[in-house]
Amino acid sequence: MEQENQSPKPQAAEMQNFDRLAGAVESLVKQERWSRRFANFLKLAIAGYIIFFIYIAMEGIGASKELKTMQNGSEHLAVVRLEGPIMAQSEASAEYMLPLLQEAFSDPMAKAVLIKANSPGGSPVQSALINDEITRLKKLYNKPVIAVVEDLCASGCYYITVAADKIIANKGSLIGSIGVRMDSFGFTGLMEKIGVENRSMHAGEHKTFINPFAEKDEAGREFFRTQVLEKTHQQFIQAVRDGRGDRIKETDETYTGLVWLGEDALNNGMIDGLGDMGSVGRELMTGEPNFRYYEVEKSIFEQLLGDISTQTSSRLAMYFTTLH
């Protein structure tokens, strides 16, 4: 009789275990469904985000083309940007800028050419090439050239802008840095401390004069300073004198690599006036100035990528700014 009374208990326990297992399976299925729905929602959100910015970019491209078409048939001020480091294969290189300058100067509807400058400088060779081309095109087309500086026009940027008829800047702009430099480092002391040995090989006594892992080659460094840096500096100085003429008031500090604020640069003759694109435009044209920016034509794909990245970065910057 005891065995008959105890037999239902194991069956009840098995049923409870089965119910728990069924509940766990049901919970897992629901979680899996929720995960799939969330993943699908996330995919749709990303797709919608991309489509939205493609639409915005296409609208911008269409408006830009329409504006350019309108500008082509009317008198305007041709604007060529000189922005960022000046180096080969960059947007501030001679390869990039020369065709834009040629297009701007040769346009019969361009009343003047404006160089919108905001650059820390860079390659002296690229700067000299652009300076020479501006000088050549000025004589060929007999059009006024005005460089309009925003935040910074230093070193190679100033090398280029001295070819303009006038340089206009903001009172807080940084102007100058008429000098030449080459940076190098030496790690020999650190190498000794950590047990690293330099085993590089070379042919030519001064081939490794800038090798940061070798002992300092004073003779090689002095040769480079006098025969390369100093001569390049003199080329820079001559370009400034050719471009600025009697306007620049030379002192012992003029060609030392120092920079000046716009107000002081005006006083020492490094620039010709204080202003911005708007004030220059109003001076050159009656009524509201009509600017046309001369830029390298990009494919729709390149423009879309550029616009999407620009819009995204600007929105992220705004978002993170509001967090502080």
Number of Cβ within a 10 Å radius of residue 262 = 23
Token representation of residue 144? 């006024």
Q: Tell me which amino acid residue 164 is.
A: A
How many Å apart are CA 123 and CA 2, to the nearest integer?
101
CB contact set of 263 (below 8 Å; sequence gap of 6+)? 171, 274
> In this structure, are residues 83 and 91 in contact, taking their beta carbons and an 8 Å threshold?
yes
* Contact criterion met (CB below 8 Å) for 123 and 156: yes
Q: Which of 82, 117, 80 is nearest to 101 (CA)?
A: 80
Residue with tokens 């009697």: 246
Q: Cβ(119)–Cβ(112) under 8 Å?
A: no
Q: Spell out the domain ranges in the chain.
A: 77-293
* Amino acid at site 224: F
The pLDDT of residue 302 = 46
Size of the chain in residues: 324
Q: Which residues are catalytic?
A: 155, 207
pLDDT of residue 246: 95
- Cα gap 191→103, rounded to integer Å: 53
Greatest distance between any 2 Cα atoms in the chain: 126
Q: What is the pLDDT along the chain (324 residues), one digit of tens a residue?
A: 444 455 556 666 667 766 676 676 777 777 777 777 777 877 788 878 777 766 665 665 555 555 554 445 699 999 999 999 999 999 999 999 999 999 999 999 999 999 999 999 999 999 999 999 999 999 999 999 999 999 999 999 999 999 999 999 999 999 999 999 878 777 778 777 888 887 788 888 888 888 887 788 888 889 989 999 999 999 999 999 999 999 999 999 999 999 999 999 999 999 999 999 999 999 999 888 999 999 987 555 545 554 455 455 445 544 444 444
pLDDT of residue 115: 98
Q: Which CATH architecture has domain 77-293?
A: Alpha-Beta Complex (3.90)
CA–CA separation, 57 and 108 (whole Å): 30
Gap between the Cα atoms of 275 and 139, Å rounded: 26
Per-residue tokens: 63:
């408006």
DSSP state string for 288-309 = S--EEE------HHHHHHHHHH
Q: What does the buried/exposed string (b/e) look like for 117-128 if buried means 16 or more CB atoms within 10 Å of the residue's CB?
A: bbbbbbbbbbbb
Cβ within 8 Å of residue 128, ≥6 positions away: 159, 235, 239
